[in-house]
Amino acid sequence: MSLDLPRILAAHDRIRPHIHRTPVLTSERLNQACGGELFFKCENFQKVGAFKARGAVNAVFSLDDATARRGVATHSSGNHAAALARAARLRGIAAHIVMPSNSPKIKARAVEGYGGQITFCEPNQAAREAACAKIIAATGATLIHPFENEDVMAGQGTAAVELLQDVADLDLVLCPVGGGGLLAGTAVATKGLRPSAIIIATEPAQAGDAADSFRAGHVVPLTKADTIADGLRTNIGAPNFAIVQRHVSDVVTVREDSIVAAMRAIWEAMKIVIEPSAAVPYAAILEGRVNVAGRRVGIILSGGNVDLDALPWMPRA
């Protein structure tokens, strides 16, 4: 089975009782500033505060009963962790979550609140994968990878389905990229529903492996991810990158100060809370990395889980 539009539409039917259909919002102020029409798909209003609820629910509810009873496991910096814990609770099964030690406290609290069993590890990919493998060996739980699992990708693609149902004639879709689950699902859904639309991925320059990989034509390992956008500190997955190569026109990177400026601009203009990762696509517009003048542009606002005691524009102690 491979990721295609029918699979994403089936995921949408499966998860509909367990997610919000989030709104698409616009801002005249932001439109005037960039010269285009921006349509923000507000996954910051989603269950668990992020699009990750979609993929986690689809993956968990796609399991047969015998497999589900053994529980699920994953490694995640936060949003997928909380989403999987919630999805597991909805199905009445255990969720084992490996989180890096530097995960935002708000995200760890969310996992605990949904009943997830947390194991902390060193903040690198090897440590995450080793800790998760150990738990799976001990419990028999099924790995629900945060972005390489095709049921997860299909679930994430449902956000773009809704966006294109609400705004059918988009010229361009901007999507943040970390591991690539959201981007893969968005790309397949968009090309299935609106083949003429251009898809551009956006990521922090300080975690720019997707852009490096796109230029090289193969996955380039992420050696360091020193970015405020904690949800995008992950190397792009191999199956995700294959989809990117087929459907995505470009991957652009943005500076840290642009991410902060974009986050603050959206808070101020739209009166909504978004996290740094969600601000990355608008940061690309602020930097002029993407030309949106005269175009109708869909932007996936990926989440809104922010530590309100450590906002990036607050003075540092």
Could you give the residue numbers annotated as active site? 52, 302
The DSSP H or E segment spanning 41 is strand 37-42
Token pair of 260 as six digits: 């902060």
Give Cα 314 distance to the centre of its chain: 25
Place of tokens 């901007």: 174
The one-letter amino acid at 98: V
**CA separation for the pair 204, 33 (Å, rounded):** 22
Q: Which residues contact 167 (CB under 8 A, 6 or more apart)?
A: 24, 39, 296, 298
Token pair of 117 as six digits: 């069993």
Token pair of 139 as six digits: 């419990």
Token pair of 65 as six digits: 């009963």
- What's the alpha-carbon Rg for the chain, to the nearest Å? 18
Q: What is the dihedral of CA 26, 29, 31, 34, to 10 degrees?
A: -140
**CA separation for the pair 27, 270 (Å, rounded):** 6
